[in-house]
Structure 1
Amino acid sequence: MNKIVPNVPRIRLLDEFKEFALRGNVVDLAVGVVIGAAFNAVVQSFANDVLLNLVAAVFGKPDFSALAWTVNGTAIGYGALLTALVNLVLVALGVFLVVRLLNRLRRPADPGVPEPPTTRTCPYCITVLPKEASRCSACTSQLDPQATP
């Protein structure tokens, strides 16, 4: 009867791959790519379906690719470049507006409430120290850990 003998190098390779694939920054990168793709879809839709239609309402049509100059019988199509520039500006505006909205949603409810201090000053030598310090790192004075500035 043939016994199946486990292949030790293959198991090590699988363990190394699991360690690599489940490392925090690889998973974070994958999440970032997926979120970025979804964000791209939102911004493209906003630019193409909302902003470009506003341009069409003002200028009559959002596609300028038919515009061209004729120089010595040769057509120079500047309309495609103009359309690409308008699209770039609209997409940049869309990114700005979406990021601005997300930043407003992320802000704390009451920005007037200050955060508690994380540092304090040594009363003897005026060195800035962590709030939890019990001895000054500059002058080695004993500090009261409960005292706050």
Structure 2
Amino acid sequence: MLTGFKQFIMRGNVIDLAVGIVIGGAFATVIAGLNDGILLPLIAAVFGEPDLTQVGTFMINGAQFSIGLFLDAVLNFLVVAAGLYFFVVMPMNKLAERRARGQEPEPAPVPDPDIVLLTEIRDLLSARRH
């Protein structure tokens, strides 16, 4: 039972997933800083409110609707998606392109010394006959 668990944990994809989660958590704080430090003050300057959830609220038959809540969620999604694209995906794509350009064809495999010796003997015997 413990051997199976150890094999599961030591798989590369599980470790990659764990690293991805940790990096994602750290990246979330960067996005929160961008949102709180730059975007929300910009929204406050435009709409007069630092939070979009208060923009466009109305009531119909006692039910409160908030267009701003939806806009806030869309804005947060776009900020996270743009941050991931420009800071993670695009640099990784550029790195992959550089690696692909720098790739050289694999060198031909070196034959075993026994094969080299037998080839030399064959060539010498062939040269003696002629």
Q: TM-score, normalised by structure 1?
A: 0.52
1:54 paired with 2:38, answer yes
Compared CA separation, residues 110 and 41, structure 1 to 2 (3 A): closer
1:63 aligns with 2:51: yes
C-alpha offsets along residues 24-73 of structure 1, whole Å, 9 cap, x if unaligned?
x5323442332122111122112110144321232215521112134467
CA gap 1:62/1:105 in 2 versus in 1, 3 angstroms: farther
Match of 1:83 among 72, 78, 96: 72
One-letter amino acid of the counterpart of residue 96, structure 1 = Y
Indicate if the aligned counterparts of 1:66 and 1:80 stay in contact, CA closer than 8 A.
Answer: yes
Q: CA separation in 1, counterparts of 2:33 and 2:23?
A: 15
Work out which of the residue numbers 3, 18, 26 in structure 1 matches 2:9: 26
Runs (5+) with no aligned partner, structure 1: 1-16, 119-130, 133-149
For 1:26 and 1:38, locate their aligned partners in 2 and report how far apart those are by CA, in whole Å: 16
Cα distance change, pair 110–71 in 1 and its aligned pair in 2 (3 A): closer
Residue 38 of structure 2 aligns with an amino acid whose one-letter code is L
Structure 2 match to 1:146? none
Is the alpha carbon distance of 1:107 and 1:71 closer, same or farther for their aligned partners in structure 2, counting shifts above 3 Å?
same
Higher deviation after alignment, 49-58 or 69-78: 69-78
**SS of residue paired to 1:75:** strand
Q: May I ask how many residue pairs the two structures share in their alignment?
A: 104
Amino acid at match of 2:2: K
Write 1 or 2 for the structure with the bigger share of helix: 2
Equivalent residue runs for 1:59-138 within 5 Å:
59-60=43-44, 62-67=50-55, 68-71=57-60, 74-100=63-89, 102-103=91-92, 106-107=95-96, 113-116=102-105
1:37 maps to 21
Task: Give the Å deviation of 1:20.
Answer: 0.9
Mapped partners of 2:6, 2:93: distance in 1: 33
DSSP-derived class of the 1:115 partner: coil
* Structure 2, unaligned runs of 5 or more: 110-130
- Alpha-carbon RMSD across the aligned residues, in angstroms, is 3.4
Could you state the TM-score of these two structures normalised by the residue count of structure 2?
0.57
The offset of 1:108, in angstroms, is: 8.1
